[in-house]
Amino acid sequence: MAPNRLELRHRAANIRKNPTHAERILWSKLRARRLKGYKFRRQHILFPYIVDFYCFKMKLAVEVDGETHNNAAQAKTDEFRRAKLREVHGVEVLHFSNHQVRYDLTNVLHTIGKRIDAYRKPH
């Protein structure tokens, strides 16, 4: 059974209070409009999911994945979740591993920055 909105709010608040090391690193670069002036929220609820970081203006979620995401079953679950976020909320999701954030942060920020640049260009 899916959690209700109150349960999700409590869970998101708890995750915000106890971020992983990689989430802390990335948040330090995304918070306070530090990346190209775009506002990101952390542990944002997009019912029935919580995404690690979310830019409302671009409808972009950024997920930082731990080791549990390195197996076929979890990959299938992640793909289903990504499809639902796109279908229900119109949100695109970028995934990065904890390792990428910790050891290749420049490339992670470059990838997110390229998405911002693409959003800024007139269509």
pLDDT tens figures, 43-75: 999 999 999 999 999 999 999 998 665 677 888
Amino acid at 88: V
| Alpha-carbon distances of 123 from 35, 114, 116, 119, 120, rounded to whole Å | 22, 15, 13, 9, 9
pTM for the full predicted model = 0.91
Distance of CA 107 to the CA centre of its chain: 16
With beta carbons less than 8 A apart as the criterion, state whether 50 and 8 touch. Answer: yes
pLDDT number for residue 70: 64
pLDDT number for residue 69: 54
> Domain boundaries in the chain?
5-120
More confident residue, 66 or 103: 103
The CATH number of 5-120 is which of 3.30.565.10, 3.40.50.1980, 3.30.1050.10, 3.40.960.10?
Answer: 3.40.960.10
Tell me the C-alpha distance between 55 and 64, whole Å. Answer: 15
pLDDT tens figures, 5-35: 899 999 999 999 999 999 999 999 999 999 9
The residue assigned the tokens 């802390």 is 24
